[in-house]
């Protein structure tokens, strides 16, 4: 059983920053492809960023490029999402997900069905 636990969400003003963390436990195989997704009320869940098993390659949604940075510390089984210059459109529940390494590639990184394990989510609220 793999468990993912997110933390770091909260309320910030426009232009502010937050750092989300996701701690994985129970994973016995090779390091998985790790991603952050988000879902705003009334909208579909969407990919935000994904990082490969070594932490050397990352993929980002166009809407967050240049503002968000995903990273991972495999020794701590932790993935981070540094969010800067937050905008009202970043308001959402943010989810951490772990998937097979196959999905850590162009055109696949944001396919929701490719991720087997999901956290409970952490809320990010950006106010003006």
pLDDT of amino acid 2: 85
Task: Please write the tens of the pLDDT for every residue from 11-40.
Answer: 999 999 999 999 999 876 667 899 999 999
How far is residue 124 from each of residues 71, 76, 100, measured CA to CA in Å?
Answer: 19, 24, 27
Provide the 10 A C-beta neighbour count for residue 113.
7
Confidence (pLDDT) at 100: 85
Each residue of 112-123: pLDDT tens digit?
999 999 999 999
């Amino acid at each position: 059983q793999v468990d993912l636990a997110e933390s770091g969400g909260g309320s910030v003003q426009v232009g502010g920053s937050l750092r989300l963390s996701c701690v994985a436990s129970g994973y016995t195989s090779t390091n998985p492809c790790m991603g952050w997704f988000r879902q705003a009320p009334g909208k579909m869940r969407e990919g935000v960023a994904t990082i490969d098993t070594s932490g050397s390659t990352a993929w980002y949604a166009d809407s967050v490029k240049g503002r968000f940075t995903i990273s991972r510390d495999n020794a701590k089984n932790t993935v981070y999402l540094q969010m800067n210059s937050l905008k009202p459109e970043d308001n959402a529940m943010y989810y951490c997900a772990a998937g097979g390494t196959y999905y850590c590639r162009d055109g696949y990184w944001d396919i929701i069905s490719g991720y087997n394990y999901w956290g409970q989510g952490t809320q990010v609220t950006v106010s003006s």
